[in-house]
Structures are given as C-alpha cells and as structure tokens.
Structure 1
Amino acid sequence: MTQKLVIIGAGMASGRVIEELIETDPDAYDITLFNAEPRGNYNRIMLSPVLSGDKTYEDIVTHDDAWYAENGITCRFGEHVVKIDRQRKVVTGQNGPVPYDKLLIATGSAPFIIPVQGKDLPGVITYRDLDDTNAMIRAAQAGGQAVVIGGGLLGLEAAAGLAQRGMQVTVLHLTGHLMERQLDEAAGYLLRKDLERRGITVMTQAATAAILGKERAEAVLLESGETLGADLVVMAVGIRPETRLATDAALEVARGIEVDAQMQTSDPDVYAVGECVEFDGQLFGLVAPLYDQAKVVAASLLGEPAAFVPKEMSTKLKVTGCDLFSAGDFADGPGREDIVFRDPARGVYKRLVIEGDRLVGAVMYGDTANGSWFFGLIRDGTDIDPMRDMLIFGPGFQGADQADPLSAVAALPPDAEICGCNGVSKATIVQAIHDGATDLGAIRGCTKASASCGTCTGLVEQLLEQTLGDDYAAPAAQPVCGCTDLTHEDLRRLIKSKALKSQPAVWQELGWKTPNGCHVCRPPVNFYLLADWPLEYRDDPQSRFVNERKHANIQKDGSFSVVPRMWGGLTNARELRAIADAAEKYNVTTVKVTGGQRIDLLGVKGADLPDIWSDLNAAGLVSGHAYSKGLRTVKTCVGTDHCRFGTQDSTGLGVKLEKTLWGSWTPHKVKLAVSGCPRNCAEATCKDVGIVCVDSGYQISVGGAAGMDVKETERLLDVATEAEAIAVTVAFIQLYRENAKYLDRPYKWLAKVGLDWVKQRIEDPVERNRLVEAFELSQTIYRKDPWAEHAQQQAESYAPLADLTLEAAE
C-alpha cells in the first residue's frame, strides 16, 4: 500500500527530495506538499537577476504546476501549516488536516529583523523570497533613496538590483569590510570599490539605531547620529532556522531542528532538510549541502542506507558582476604564510594561506577560474611543496605550462567539483558530454550543473570546449560574452564601420563592461582586427587560446600533442627518422597516424615542447598547426603519379595548396582535400574545400563537414587549370576570413550567407583578384613557423608577468 508523505515547505531542498523519490521509486509515496508562498519550487539563488530585471520569475521556476500534476503531487500552496500532531500523525493546514505516514519538515529559514524602533513601519522589508523581491521592484518604480542594512551577499545583491532599477542606494555594514565571513580585508576593499564605481554608497562600521517615520519609513538613524533619507529600507542582516512548528510539536530543537545522519528528527517518522536543520552542531546555508541532505532523506524514506557527511565547502559568489571565491581558513595565525598576487589594473587579487606544506585557505577576487583546483588542494590536504613557487598562478603553470582556462580545467582531477550547488563533478560532466550533451542547455538538463546560481557556467563551458575540441562552438545569436551585449556579427560590423584598429579602441568605443576584455572575447576580437586591418594591427599572442599559444594541442591529462606538417601527406625517410628519434627522446606515449595523413605525437610534456620543436625543425619539419584556427591539412590521393585512374596530379596540387595556405588564420579550422578522380579516395566531398580532378580540369566544392555534423560539399566552380583552382580556393578562404563569425566552420557561414552570394563574388574576376591579393598580403606579414620562433613566443607569453605584483610574506 502506498504510504502518505506530507512535506512542509516547497523550497529547493524539498524539491530535490521529491525529484530523488520520483526518479528512484515514483509509486512509493502519495505526496502532499504545503507551502506558505502561493507557488511551488523556484530557484531562490536567482532572485537577484529578477530584482535587477535581467530575468523574470518564469525564468527561475524549477517545478511548475504541470510538473506537480504530472507527478501526482497534491499541492497546498498559499496555505500555512498551523500544527503538527505527532500522536495522531496529522498535519493541519489553514484549510484542514492531512494524515501522514512520514513527515518531512523543510521550512527553511527566516530573515533576522534588527530589534530597533521603526522596524515594523511600511517601507521596511526583508529580502528572502519572491514576494520580497516584487515589493522591492514596486518600490523602485517610484525611484528615491534606499538603505540596505547588511553588507553580506544578500544585502549586496539587493543593493545592486535596486541601483540597476534607478534608486540611490546606501549599504550599511556593521564590521570593517564587506562580506567579512567570506573575504579578507583586501578582497573586501576591492569589492567596495567596485560597488562604489556602480554608484552604490558603502558605509562600514555603521550601526543602525532606529528607523524613522510616521506613516512609513522615511529615514535611518545611525548610532553615530547621522541620518540617512530612505524611501525604502531593506534588512539583510542574516537568517535563522525556521523552527516554530518543530518546537510546537515538541521535537528536539537547538539552533535548528536536530537530525541524525539519516536526517531523522527525534521522531522516527519525521525528517527534516535544509536551512531549518542542525546536524552535529552545524547549520547549513549553501545549496550544495542541502542537496546532499536531500539525497539522504530520499534514500532514508525508501529504506536505503545513506548518511549525511558534511563536506568542507568553498564559496564561489557573484555580486553585481564581481567574481569572488573563498575556501578553507584564511585567518592569520602562527606558523602560517601568505602568497599574495595583485594586479590592480585588472582588479585581480589572490591570497593563498599555507601552513607547513599544505594549502589551508584561499581568497580570490576578480579572477576565480582556478578556484576549484585550489579547493581540491585544500580538501585533499595535497603536499604543495613541489609546486610552491608557481602555486599562485594555478594548475596551468605547474610544470612550466602556460596558464589558461582550458589548461586549468584539463588539470582538474575527475572528482573535482565543478558545480558546488548541485555537487556535480568534472567526471560527471565529461561523461554527459561523451553521451551526447554538447551544449550548456543539455548539460544543465542531464546533470543540473550551472542550473542553480550559474557561477560555474564558465567552467562548464570550458569543459565543453576542452572535451569537444574543434567541434565546440558558442551558441548562435548570443552576445560575444558577458563583457558586452554585442553579437559577433554586430562586433565585426562595428570594427569595420568605425575603423577600430586596436583592442583598446574596441573596449573604449564599444562600451565594454570590463576594461581589457576576458578570455572569451579577446580571441574573436583579436581575429576580427587581424582580418580587417592586417597592416595596422599586430597579432596579440595573449588573445589566443592556449593551444595556439602553446603551438600544440592540450590533452585531457594536461600533456600535449605535437603534429609536424607533411605537405599533401608526403614524407620521407629523413623526416620519419627524426619523428621516431623525437618519440623516443621525449617519452612520447602514443604515435598515431591521423585522418589527415600526418603523424601525431601524443603525451608530450609542456616543458619539453620547445626542445621537441627544435629537434623536428632541425630535420626540416615545421608545425602542422593541428591546434590552430587556420589551415590544418590538405589530404591527397596519389593521382596520376601512381594510380591508373588518376586524371590530374592531385598530390602536386595538394602540396601547392598547402604551401600557399599554410600558416593562415581563419575563423575556425579549415581542412582541404584533392582527389585525383571521382572515386574520391581523399574524401574531398566532406571537407571545407574539396577538389575532385576530372579529365576536363577541377571541380571545386565547399562547405562539407564530417564531425558532429555530417554534410556533403556544394559545388562552387569548375575550372580548367591548376592555377585557377588555387586562385578560387584562396579567394574562398579570404572571403570566409573577411565575413564569417569567429568559431563558425565554413559550412555554418555558408548557411547564413548562401552559396549564391559566395559564387557571385568568386566569379567576379576583379573581386577574386582583390581577395587573392588581400590573402597574399596577410601571409607576407604573418606567415611564419611558430616552432622556429618558439623562443620569442615563450618570451611573449610570459612577458605580462612583469607587470604584475607577486608578494610573499611570512
């Protein structure tokens, strides 16, 4: 017989319990769900974007009415529970009683109200739920002044949202710096300066004496005697577990409802979960432990063994566009030393606290990309002595590798927690990607990673890029990144129309939200400037992805892949001997023949890259650019030299094309093939540009794909001579460079502009000549073998460190 489960509270913790029950055994319980709010489960973490106007309530709903109905859940929303009768096992709501076999209390927490005069006046509100958020939105419509009491996360989010809606906002904070529980004084100072730049007044060491007003709040009186005008007062000074129902029911209650490791209260038929709970003397306010509790509750209700074990937590927060991270214990103490990194120009601050040979605390502001890695070192008690000198720069610098978001995420162990809200590890996300979740929405749907607060979204996107490699592309019709509201198409158009010829010009003239861009927008901006102004602009190596800066492909274990170029797939004994020698000398783990008729040396250590390049260069080999957004390979068959079916010299044409296009940069990778006859041994009909040799000449087709999308090429032009085939191919590549969105393969670009538009320009002899000349000009300036110039590249890659301050203090 199905048992009756009554749940009090429809928040995020109880919502996760219901999901776990439905996924495991949907028929185990007949569920009745009470909620004092007139709605079900929504993502409370995302109330701040609702307040600021960036999202609507509908955007943050987790479980809508249809979901509850589909899963047979009886909803008693907008109804307060007035009593729990444990003897009769009945919960009584305002509209009547409901019997239960099992009861789950998930009443959450209540905002703390400062006991000062005027606290009950109209115009004084807390910030806890959607009703509070809507009240602030209504108040902001009239403009005026707002005073937010409390400089913690909720208070600052309230202040930011109200300021964005046009109110003059003052934040009052009792202690010496903002968010003192999560940030040290230096990080708190940076946060304050950022808020003040956004027009928010911050007053620290400010104690509230009274709220003044007759009919409604009009001002806030400070203990210093200063008075601040206030049309709205928001109290955001903290929360307390909501335990009144549990106390009235004579359950054991201390600061919160006391539970054991199975989340069972002092009554074996009553469980509790979430912010109302106290376990082993601890209270819990972050989402991640609440979701851990939810899994345990569901298991316990189904009679399965489970135990809640609190984990050491990190805090990654986003306040008004400011990235913050803290983990562990960052208090000063005997036997501890600090490593501090400051980059004032970018507003970046990092502090690591070391005790002995262990990292015990970390605080980061402005750049939190390596937070998960540092947290893993703290959690696991890793011996950091071998990496002590470069520790502050993150995982990408260990072993002398170049720091970069992709190298950092590649270096994270599989069990590294990516999404703290939902407890999702790197391994879970990578497995989901391999199973077919190839965009952010799919990842959210199957793992819940980045579906809560969203601060891990960047890490999830980096995992997508690192796992999918060249098959990953940013979603269409989206802003380039969070630094701007412009799409790629708008950005390209404005760079041309406004004649913007430098990155600072882009940041300044196009209203970039961050002073120097970020790792997402700098690569496309760098490319667009290169494509449009090859004479005036110079390539910025720091605005390229790690693979392009390292001139090698990073692998999942943090090692690299080295691919020498083999013109048209041709090689010789000398080159093969040099490759074999390099494989032995540098302990290459795998030697692989690629689909592009080349040899891939996999498992090369980052520190060995300059030396292996030098050895291969000495044998006449150059970079195969297997890592670049540019020409990768020109695949060929043997053609008339050896094949009885060959109609033209396909190998010779392939070599000429590769030597012409080699070293060029494009919006995405470009692969070519030349087949000596229609039998198509070189697979020319699924390449970005494919040429099929026939008796009358050359059939040139474009826009093929053989990756995550499979697409046959479309015929561009037929030409009679080899020279024409090369000119048409070069013109097509240049037209693609001048017009395509960064990270769009040719087939995606063609779908947007149409093949007829491309044909019209390539067939026009004047335009074709212009395109060929433009391409040759850029090649004259930029084509070079990066392996031969590795010493200069290394120096350029590390040069920015000279501008940064690195402090070590005992």
Structure 2
Amino acid sequence: MEARRYQPQPQVPESEVQAPLIIVGNGPAGIQCLVELRRRGQTTPVKLFGAEPWAPYDRVKLSTFLSGSTGFDDLTNLPAELDDSVEHLVGRSVTGINPSRRWVEDALGQRHPYSKLVLALGSDAHIPSIPGTDLSGVLRFRDMADAQALMARRLRSTHTVVIGGGLLGIEAAHGLCRFGTRVTLIQHADRLMNRQLDSEAASLVAGSLSESGVDVRLQTSVRRIEGSQRVESVVLADGTVLLCDTVVFATGIAPRTALARKAGLTVASGIRVNASMQTSNPDIYAVGECAQFQEQVCGLVMPALQQARVAAANLAGSQDSYTPVADSTWLKVMALEVFSAGRFIDEERGLVHQTLVYRQVEKGLYRALMLRTHRLVGVVSVGPWPERQQILNRIADGRRLLPWEIWRFRLSGTLAGGPAPVGQWPASTVVCQCRGLNRGQLQTFMGEGCDTFTLKQRSGAGTVCGGCEPLLDSLCQGGMARARSVPGGTALAILSAMAALLLALAFWLPSPGLSSSVQSQSLFEQFSRNGEWRQWSGYGVLGASLLLLLMSLKKRFPKVPMGGFSGWRIAHAAIGSLALALLYWHTGFSLGENLNRWLMLSFIGVAIAGIGAALLTRFQAALPGLDGLRQGSTWLHILVCWPLPVLLIFHIVSAYYF
C-alpha cells in the first residue's frame, strides 16, 4: 500500500457527523470489545486498527500451529460482528494520539477522529538483558511472526535452547521437539510453570516433557549467548556450555505502553485503568495485556476478555466494574491435561488452611484442592478432570464444602460424584470461562436447538482455548437441544421402517415353492424362475450393492461430490431398501447352501444393522443415551459389510463358470 501525505479535510460540524469509536488492536481483547458492543445493540461506527499484516487469529493456539497440528485457516475465527459496518484497517499501526483534539494518527500519516478510544495494544516478549541477544538465531515466541520464524528454522535446527519454563516456553519446546530437533528447556525456578502449578504437578509435567524428548533443566539460567554472527552456544549460570544454533525466549511479557506514555496517559508497568477500564483520560479505555488494574497486569486471555466486556458495557452506557477473578490455566502437553486456578502455589500456602490431595500415580492423576475456612480457594490438577468447570464455579461462588463432599473427594477425586449434565446447571453458571458465557446465555444462542459447531459460531464459546467444548457437546445433547431434529431424520426413519417391514414379511410369509405345472405358477414364480428375469434381478442386486459400497465413501471422504450428508444418508437408505426388494425377487429369501448361504446371511446382517443404525440416528436427539448404541450399530453395519464384496465375486464366478 502506497503511503500518502495527509491532506486536511474541510471542517464538518459535529452535529452533522458522528465520529467513530476507534479500537487500536485486533487481537482477542479488541475483537471481544467489538463483539460485545454489537451484541448490546450499539451501532456506533467503528474503526479497528491491526498492526499485524494478517487477519485476526487465535493466539492461544499458536503452539499447535507451530507443531504442525493446526493450519493457519484453523486459527482464524472471524466473528459475524466484523462485517461491512466496521472499517477494519489491517497492517496499519497507530503511531500517535491527541487526547485534547480526539484523533489518532496512523503509520501513513492520516488522522482519524474518534468519539471514544479503546487501546488493546497487547504486549511484547520480555527479553532479559544478557549478552548475545542480538545474534542471528535468537528468536522469541509471542505472535504469528515469531511462530513463522520458528517454523522456518525448526527443520534445519539441530539443537534449540528454549529459555523460560512457563506456559509459552513449554508449548514452544513441545512443538519444536516433534520434528527431530534436540530441545533443551531452561527454567530459573525450581519447577516448571511456577506461577500455575505446585511442586508435585510441575514434576509430572516435567516428566511428560522429558518423555517426549525435551531436556528440562531447572534452577539455572543463561549467563550469555555466544557466537561470531550466529548463535553457536549458550553459557549457563554454573558455567556449563550448551552447543546450539537457535535460542528461543519465552520469558514473560512487557506491556506495550509507549503510545499511551507519548499521549500523556498515566503509565506504570502497564496503562493505568480504573474498574470501568478507563485510563487517566475518561474518553480513552485500555484492555488486555497493555492495561494495569491496581497493581496487576493480566497475562492470560480470560481476564483480557473479561476486561473487554466491561469496557464495552461502559461504552454502551452501563455501569459495569471489573473484578479480577481467579486466573485459570488449562494446558495439554502431549496427552497430559494440566489445570490450575486460584491460590495454590507454595508462596500462597499461608493463605490456605487445608489441602486435600487425590492421586493415582499409575494413571497419571493428581488433584489438589486448597481450602480456607472450608471454602475452595485454589485447585491444581494433572490428568483429565470432567469437573473442571464446576470447580471454577465453586471457587467463584465461595460456598463451603460440605463434609461428605470432602470425603467423596478423598475417596474418588470428585466433589459431586461426577459431572452433572450441563443442561441441569443453574442459568448463571459459567460454561465458557474465556468468553464469560453462562448456561443461560448459551441456551439463548441455541434458540430452538443447534449442534456444537453452530453454537460455537453463534456465541464464540469454545473458540479460544477449546477447554469447554465437551461441555458444549453436553449442552447440545440435553436440555433445550433435545427438541432438535436430525436433518432428514423423518425420511430416514420411514425408509428404514419400510425396509424392516419388508424384511419381516419376507421371513414371516412362507417361501414361494415350485409349482407342479406351468398353469398353476404364481406371478412371482413366472418372473423369478424365468432365466432372463432372474439374471437381470441379479444384476440389479449387484449394481445396488456396488452403489451402496461407493456411497459409503461419502462419510470417510467428505469432499466426494455426492451432495449434502443428510441427503446422501436418505439416498443410501432408499437404495438399500431397493436392494432388499431385488434380493427377494432374485432369491425369495431362500438361504441356499454353502457360499450362497453365507452370502445371504451377509446381506441380511448388513440390512438389519443398517436399519437399526438408521432408526437410532432418528431418535438419538430425543434420547441422548442412545448415542452409544447408535455408534455400535453403525460399526456393526460396516463390519458385517466387509465379507460382502468377496462373497459376491465368488457367487458370480461360480454362477458363470459352472
């Protein structure tokens, strides 16, 4: 894009034009602020600035992008609110703010007036002051540019040293070691994720990383990075020299405050804000990693999104206040799930009166609850825990744990004896912690019912860390979603019932026998015993069977052009019913002998399993408990189908050869 000198525009009276709201930063916090404004019915014109040269993306999933398990298209999840009513300036940074005249200036020198301004500037990677950080091969892991630079080096790097054992450092080390690169993780503290995990949980994470090939070194630091022009080695605090060609810094964040400081706003570690997320200038708000509320700068996505919701509410005329909630972390290292929230680390143990621990070492399970006056104030766990969201809600509501809940946890590791269906949770219970969406709000988005994919698109739930996706599945399978219908389910059920009736009649009625004379032959026998008609009915059964086998590829290969899935499923049932009718015409459902008997049994087994799977598909929406039975019948339908092509070939060869 060619830069142009800013030309002053003729003055337009303020009564004739409405200055837009400007949001500087199109990361998660900036996008969330826009979404919340539109959902509150605000139609104020918006200008959205993004300094990076690509569309907004999910920064939480950058580690999966680095490891190669997620493509760039999977990182972008543009909300419907980012439409033509929003002027989205991608790759355009803001270089100056004039609070007195209420305009911002961009990198092209153009000035944009604003009615209100939201700063969602994010943060930079913190780089420690050690010698050698300017060498080629020294990288960081913070944004898309960093991830792409690491991807460009991961295949040619023989040894990468990752500095920082926090959330980003672990994800970077795990993502890089998958490509055969030797990876060493350096952590100055006595355990990994020392701000999110206690000692025992951190040791389990370190063990998992070591098993995946990462060399974890604790209680040490890098004294300097050595090399002539490129990285050649790092020297640790104890004098150990590690030969390497790449160094990755994941050592925390530095809030971006230069723009605010230049504009005269109050800045400490971050941009100072009050409970309404207003800066020292009441027309300018700050949210996310660039903002500092009281003495805290948030470094996780959940509080950043919460701040964006508060700012949007106040911009819309409400009087909302930001109250920090217990930070929660959910991470997957290999197949290991790690979860923590509230007060749990060793430094805070003085605020904890009692710790309850449940562990199953052989299964890799560790769960610890921290109590103060019998109220849950912190939790840390390693391994799957279906109650994770309910635990967060218990920390938030501050209710005392009852004696039987404590004993149940000691014995089974659960507080409520297992997770209740999400549809039965109170409407105010938060389901998606990142987006701050409770069960009542999600069911409003569901309307008459929808599947999980549609609910995620409508609400944004499950699109940040993805940890609540099982809860969304549960919600869509129960409560209001039970009334939803399977697309094409009625037609599928009718065809399946007709096929079942045909099969039942064929076995209930006596098999047509041979007549004693030509004159007494029935109509069925006249045609079915006719050689030419019998041959054509056999071809019909063969053609329908081959078509059904071909159509089964639709589910395995979605890009095969056979129409929509529901239509394909109905056509599959219709052709299956036709194949049964032709089979009856060809055989009278006589089982025959030898290979013919096995062929008939295979045909009948495939038909019965298919009819069962189709009927269960129709009724699983009303009765979620049938889902496992439906999956079982579907797999049985596929399993019984495997011998059918071979038996058909033998039947055709034997019929024509002999």
TM-score (norm 1): 0.59
Pair 1:751-2:572 in alignment: yes
Aligned pairs for 1:460-609 (under 5 A) are: 460-467=472-479
- Does 2:365 match 1:348? yes
| Match in the other structure for 1:701 | 499
Asked whether the 8 Å contact 1:106–1:273 carries over to 2, the reply is yes
Residue 152 (str. 1) matches residue 166 (str. 2): yes
Whole-angstrom distance in 2 between the partners of 1:247 and 1:179: 32
The secondary structure found in structure 2 opposite 1:275 is helix
CA distance in structure 2 between the aligned counterparts of 1:452 and 1:769, rounded to whole angstroms? 50
Task: Tell whether the 8 Å contact from 2:332 to 2:338 is kept in structure 1 after alignment.
Answer: yes
Q: Is 1:6 equivalent to 2:19 in the alignment? A: no
CA contact (8 A) 1:168 1:200 kept: yes
> Kindly, what percent of the aligned residue pairs are identical?
32
CA displacement, residues 185-240 of structure 1 (integer Å, 9 cap, x when unaligned):
11111111111111111111121101111111121110111111222111001012
Per-residue CA distance 1:15-34 (angstroms, 9 max, x = gap): 122223344456423x3333
Please name the residue that 2:311 is paired with.
297
Q: Secondary structure of the residue that 2:219 maps to in structure 1?
A: coil
Structure 1 pair 250–393 and aligned structure 2 pair: CA distance change class (3 A): farther
Equivalent residue, structure 2, for 1:20: 36
Q: State the alpha-carbon separation in 1 of the partners of residues 68 and 193 from structure 2.
A: 24
Query: In the alignment, which of 32, 38, 52 is matched to residue 47 of structure 2?
Result: 32
**SS of the residue 2:289 aligns to:** coil
Q: Which residue of 1 aligns with 2:185?
A: 171
Separation of aligned partners in 1, 2:211 and 2:339 = 21
- Structure 2 counterparts to residues 610-649 of structure 1, below 5 A: none
Quote the offset at 1:389 in angstroms.
0.9
- The CA distance in 2 between the partners of 1:719 and 1:49, in whole Å, is 55
Contact kept? 1:350, 1:392, Cα under 8 Å: no
- Residue 143 and residue 67 in structure 1: after superposition, are their counterparts in 2 closer, same or farther (change >3 A)? farther
Is residue 449–residue 476 contact of structure 2 (8 Å, CA) maintained in 1? no
Give the whole-Å Cα distance in 1 for the aligned partners of 2:220 and 2:570: 57
* 1:322 counterpart (323, 328, 336): 336
Indicate if the aligned counterparts of 1:150 and 1:171 stay in contact, CA closer than 8 A: yes
Cα separation, 2, equivalents of 1:685 and 1:121: 65
Q: Identify the residue that residue 322 of structure 2 maps to in structure 1.
A: 308
> What is the CA-CA distance between 1:748 and the residue it aligns to?
5.4
Q: Give the unaligned 5+ runs of structure 2.
A: 1-16, 512-551, 556-564, 592-596, 609-658
Question: Residue 338 of structure 1 aligns with which residue?
Answer: 355
The separation in 1 between residues aligned to 2:351 and 2:311, in whole angstroms, is: 41
Q: Distance in 2 between matches of 1:235 and 1:685?
A: 57
Q: 2:63 aligns with which of 48, 55, 70?
A: 48
Partners of 1:684 and 1:263 lie apart in 2 by 54
Match of 1:421 in 2: 434
Mapped partners of 2:214, 2:100: distance in 1: 54
**Rg: which structure is higher?**
2
Report whether the alignment pairs 1:260 with 2:274.
yes
Kept in 1, the 8 Å contact 2:233–2:242? The answer is yes
Matched, 1:103 2:117: yes
**Distance (Å, rounded) in 1 between the aligned partners of 2:122 and 2:183:** 29
**Alpha-carbon deviation of 1:165?**
3.0
- Residues 417 and 72 (structure 1), Cα distance of their counterparts in 2 relative to 1, 3 Å cut: closer
For residues 8-407 of structure 1, the aligned pairs below 5 Å read: 8-25=24-41, 27-29=43-45, 31-63=46-78, 70-75=84-89, 77-101=90-114, 102-331=116-345, 332-333=349-350, 336-385=353-402, 386-391=404-409, 398=416, 403=418, 407=420
Match for 1:389: what amino acid?
Answer: W
Deviation for aligned residue 1:294: 1.7
CA distance in 2, matches of 1:34, 1:775: 59
Determine if contact 1:316/1:324 at 8 Å carries over to the other structure.
yes
Structure 1: which 5+ runs fail to align? Answer: 476-670, 672-682, 691-699, 703-713, 725-738, 777-810
Deviation string, structure 1 residues 782-808 (Cα, Å, up to 9, x no partner): xxxxxxxxxxxxxxxxxxxxxxxxxxx
Calculate the TM-score normalised by the size of structure 2. 0.72
Q: Given residue 221 of structure 1, which amino acid in structure 2 is its aligned partner? A: V
Contact 1:373 1:395 in 2 (8 A): no
Pick one of 442, 446, 462 that aligns with 2:458. 446
Q: CA deviation at 1:12?
A: 1.2
**Distance in 1 between the 2:485 and 2:299 partners?**
36
Q: CA RMSD in A?
A: 3.8
Residue 701 of structure 1 deviates from its aligned partner by: 3.2
Instruction: State the distance in 2 between where 1:314 and 1:36 align.
Output: 29
Say which SS state the counterpart of residue 701 (structure 1) adopts.
helix
Q: What secondary structure is seen at the aligned counterpart in 1 of 2:572?
A: helix
What one-letter code is carried by the residue in structure 2 that aligns with 1:78?
A: G
Task: Tell me, in whole angstroms, the C-alpha distance in 2 between the residues paired with 1:433 and 1:33.
Answer: 29
In the aligned structure 1, how far is the partner of 2:410 from the partner of 2:315?
Answer: 45
* 1:397 to 1:359, Cα distance in 2 relative to 1, 3 A: closer
Shift of 1:392: 5.0
Greater length-normalized contact order (CA 8 Å, ≥ 6 residues apart): 2
Task: Report if the CA contact (8 A) 1:20-1:298 is conserved.
Answer: yes
Shift of 1:139: 0.5
| Distance in 2 of aligned mates of 1:35 and 1:199 | 37
Counterpart contact for 1:151–1:178, Cα < 8 Å: yes
Shift of residue 302 of structure 1? 3.4
Give the match for residue 494 of structure 1.
Answer: none
Distance in 1 (alpha carbons) for counterparts of 2:335 and 2:343: 25
Look up the equivalent residue of 2:448 and give its one-letter code: D
**Aligned counterparts of 1:190 and 1:61: Cα–Cα separation in 2:** 33
Go from structure 1 to structure 2 and tell me whether the alpha carbon gap of 1:59 and 1:67 turns closer, same or farther (over 3 Å shift).
farther
Aligned to 2:448: 435
The total of aligned residue pairs comes to 527
Task: Give the match's secondary structure for 1:70.
Answer: coil
- Displacement of 1:428 in angstroms is 2.9
Q: 1:721 aligns with which of 508, 517, 539?
A: 508
Shift in alpha-carbon separation, 1:761–1:200, aligned structure 2, 3 A: farther
Q: 1:759 to 1:80 in 2, by over 3 A?
A: same
Query: Residues 412 and 202 of structure 1: is their aligned pair in 2 closer, same or farther, counting only changes over 3 Å?
Result: farther
Aligned to 1:677: none
Change beyond 3 A, Cα 1:376–1:7: closer
For 2:607 and 2:284, locate their aligned partners in 1 and report how far apart those are by CA, in whole Å: 74
Please state how far the C-alpha of 1:67 moved relative to its aligned partner.
7.8
